[in-house]
Amino acid sequence: MTTSPQHRPEEDDGGGAPVGRRLVLGMLGLGVAGVAAAPQLQRGLESFLGAASDKDPTGLTDLLPNGGGFRYYSVAASVPHKSASTYRLKIDGLVDRPTTYTLAELRAQPQTRLVRDVQCVTGWRVPSTPFEGVRLSRLLDAAGVRPGARAVRFTCFDGAYSESLTLRQARRADVMVALRMQDKDLGHSHGGPARLYVAPMYFYKSAKWLSGITLTDEVEPGYWEKRGYDVDAWVGDSNGRDDESTA
């Protein structure tokens, strides 16, 4: 047994098994009822499927909702869908001009495109993945960050997940509110209509279904960080488990 914190949403308090895994287990005839009680089976299945798409000997991971080497992660059992007309992103806290953006307003801002590897802390990686959206620094400047602000907290309309960055990290040019991924509008399962994208950090920093950006005086650890993950999640330089043996 390992003593390091694990990255297994299906074992968390309140969460359900990720939909993609239910789908695959169902396809394999294993049923759904035993999933939450059978993390060992879950891990066995994961190694059977391969840790990344290019190692998947079965092609089964292509049938997951996200396909393309991505794993679907949600700590919430179900997440409401937001459309272009119902989506809102609110920026508040220690700012001079609290602002609520519609999706159209976010799309009307200058867009930045970045192509980097996506790296989950459990070992899977998706190389050269394009993300497009609005630089977070731009939204922060528009809101007028007050001198006392030191950190940014992100909240999600799944009602469960949260993330955080220092203000300095949040102002980096490779941190954005992403509206597109792989040259398509961000779909629901990848956190659409808008997610945070923190290119230089492990993918758990990239909060899906982003609904709130709050300027605060200090960093408040996010969902996984309260459960043992590093707040400063630089790829290759934190968590000490960037390898498949711990997935």
What is the contact surface with ligand MTE in residues (CB under 6 A)? 9, 66, 70-75, 120, 156, 158, 161, 190-191, 203-204, 206-209
**Nearest distance, CB of residue 132 and ligand MTE, angstroms:** 15
Q: Report what 126 binds from ligand MTE, Mo ion, none; CB cut-off 5-8 Å by kind.
A: none
Q: Binder to Mo ion among 101, 204, 209, 223 (CB under 5 A)?
A: 204
By CB under 5 A, residue 24 contacts Mo ion? no
- SS3 sequence, the chain? CCCCCCCCHHHCCCCCCCHHHHHHHHHCCCCCCCCCCCHHHHHHHHHHHCCCHHHCCCCHHHHCCCCCCCCCCCCCCCCCCCCCCCCEEEEEECECCCEEEEHHHHHCCCCEEEEEEEECCCCCEEEEEEEEEEEHHHHHHHHCECCCCCEEEEEECCCCCEEEEEHHHHCCCCEEEEEEECCEECCHHHCCCCEEEECCECHHHCCCCEEEEEEECCCCCCCCHHHCCCCCCECCCCCCCCCHHHC
Q: Report what 190 binds from Mo ion, ligand MTE, none; CB cut-off 5-8 Å by kind.
A: ligand MTE
By CB under 5 A, residue 120 contacts Mo ion? yes
Q: Report what 229 binds from Mo ion, ligand MTE, none; CB cut-off 5-8 Å by kind.
A: none
Q: Considering the complex, state which of residue 149 and residue 178 has its C-beta at the smaller distance from ligand MTE.
A: 178
Q: Considering the complex, state which of residue 120 and residue 213 has its C-beta at the smaller distance from Mo ion.
A: 120
